[in-house]
A = this chain, B = another copy of it.
Amino acid sequence: MMYGYYKSGKMNQHAVFDLFYRKNPCDNGFALAAGLEEVVIFLTGLKFEEEDIAYLRSLNLFDEAFLDELKRFRFTGTVYAVEEGTVVFPNIPLMRFEGPIFQLQLVESACLSFINHQTLIATKAARMVQATRGDLFDHTHESVEFGLRRAQNADAATFGSRASYIGGFAGTSNLYAGQNFGIPVVGTQSHSWIQSFPSELEAFRAYASTYPDRTTLLVDTYDTLKSGVPNAIQVARELREQGYELRAIRLDSGDLAWLSKESRRMLDSAGFSNVKILASGDLNEYVVRDLMLQGARIDTWCFGTALITGDDCPALGGVYKLVAEEENGVMTPKIKVSENPEKITNPGYKRAVRLYLEDGMATADLIMLAEEQLDPSEPLTLFHPIHTYKRKTIRNFKMEELLVPILVKGEIVYELPEVEQIRRRAKTQLNSFPHEIKRPINPHAYHVDLSEKLWNLKQRLLKEARASK
């Protein structure tokens, strides 16, 4: 397509593309934006090396003048985006790209892959963290990421760790992600560790003497209740004599509800009520909820495959659509029609705001044309973009601008936050939404509305498109 734009003499024609998704993943009530840092690093470093040019030349598709254009290529577009760790919803632009159409077409697929992936995993993580909570329980649960070996290759593992930390996980077993993003690292031992010693007790002792102040013991290699937990209690006693406390035991198979309750009872009656219980083994948000209802005594949930692959919904489905293009020097809104009403795009150069009520809770998001003004001291009537009879009026609201400037004409104007700061933002954001939107099953649908002006523009362009057929 780049070559086509070049050959048609319109490579530098300006256009605007929105990146957004149409459906929350995993039947969740929201998504958690992530992946922006990876996009920024990609866009600001993007160029064609000699070997790339040589490969393209070898395809015998392109003329030399075009290859010269590629040699000079730098991304000079202007990019706005929602910050990582922002709670987002269908149709909200996660990113808005403006620049020469030739450039914007090139970056589409990579940007989609990064945002689709990290947003998916951050959302899955936030969803799992929500699942480990419930008003019935006063207990503090923690979730950790153990997915490396099942990740879809190295980037999926590393950026998946990052995204799950943003989503509220407490740590990862992936040291490389720990090193790259400053994420807390956690570890236990494998069954092969236990097997490689003459006995389970010796294996436990060897591990405890390696990490006396942070030992977690895997207790299910031979027999959890007859061998694993008694041996762990023995080692806990020996550690205590040396002035240390055993940190935790880990259950990795069997009936986790029953085993955790029995293990808790055994640990408590031996005087080790401070020893935590970790559970792992193909856990997902549904299994966790069910185990909690059964009264399982699990302190830390270790999620692997289901988290790192997004399991029941392994792609977010984000898209990248042309919403405006320069025509005779004027930026003109564009619409993509479809037989499926859900797939019709919101045209034009837009902004998106989140509206908060006086109690600090988010009440709706509003997508509008960039030039529109909103006065928070005036009452605002919102309406459903499809079922327009559904209306509500809000007063004395506060506004948060969702899209912030990231690159202006290719230059970075945004300070990329540390992952720790992004994680805090995610937490603050989640705290401003009611529980009904965050529950993992049958969440309440949050309002994402269009301004009247945008809605009217959309209807007009739709009519024109259908009339011109």
Which chain B residues border A197 with CB–CB below 8 Å?
A: 8
Residues of chain A in range 100-124 having any CB-CB distance to chain B below 8 Å: 101, 105, 108-110, 112-114, 116-118, 120
Contact flag A159-B148 (CB < 8 Å), given A191-B336, A193-B1: no
Q: Does A385 contact B (CB under 8 A)?
A: no
A156: contacting residue among B8, B101, B155, B209, CB under 8 A = B155
Whether the pair B153, A315 counts as a contact (CB closer than 8 A) is no
Minimum CB–CB distance for A14 against chain B, Å? 11
Closest-by-CB residue of B relative to A120 is B152
Write the A146-178 contact mask toward B (1 if CB under 8 angstroms, else 0): 001111111111011000000000000011001
Whether the pair A153, B114 counts as a contact (CB closer than 8 A) is yes
Which chain B residues border A8 with CB–CB below 8 Å?
A: 197, 206, 210
Residues of chain A in range 27-81 having any CB-CB distance to chain B below 8 Å: 38, 51-52, 55-56, 59, 61
How far, in angstroms, from A318 to B151 measured CA to CA in the complex? Answer: 11
Minimum CB–CB distance for A338 against chain B, Å? 7
Closest-by-CB residue of B relative to A10 is B196
Whether the pair B469, A227 counts as a contact (CB closer than 8 A) is yes
A149: contacting residue among B13, B113, B151, CB under 8 A = B113
Which chain B residues border A314 with CB–CB below 8 Å?
A: 152, 305, 309-311, 314
Which chain B residues border A108 with CB–CB below 8 Å?
A: 149, 190
Contact flag A112-B149 (CB < 8 Å), given A191-B336, A315-B305: yes
A192-B322, A309-B309 are known contacts; what are 18 more A-B pairs with Cβ within 8 Å? A1-B189, A7-B210, A52-B179, A105-B192, A110-B154, A113-B150, A114-B153, A117-B151, A117-B152, A120-B152, A152-B153, A152-B155, A152-B309, A195-B336, A196-B325, A305-B317, A309-B314, A311-B314
Binding site for B on A (CB under 8 A): 1, 3-5, 7-8, 10, 13, 15, 17, 38, 51-52, 55-56, 59, 61, 101, 105, 108-110, 112-114, 116-118, 120, 148-157, 159-160, 174-175, 178-179, 185, 187, 189-193, 195-197, 206-207, 209-211, 214, 221-223, 226-227, 253-254, 305, 308-311, 314-318, 320-322, 325, 334, 336-340, 343, 465, 468-469
A-B contact pairs, 29 of them (CB 8 A): A1-B189, A4-B211, A7-B210, A8-B210, A15-B196, A52-B179, A105-B192, A108-B190, A110-B148, A112-B149, A113-B151, A118-B153, A120-B152, A149-B320, A150-B316, A151-B152, A152-B310, A153-B159, A155-B155, A155-B156, A156-B156, A191-B322, A192-B322, A221-B336, A227-B469, A254-B339, A305-B314, A309-B309, A314-B314
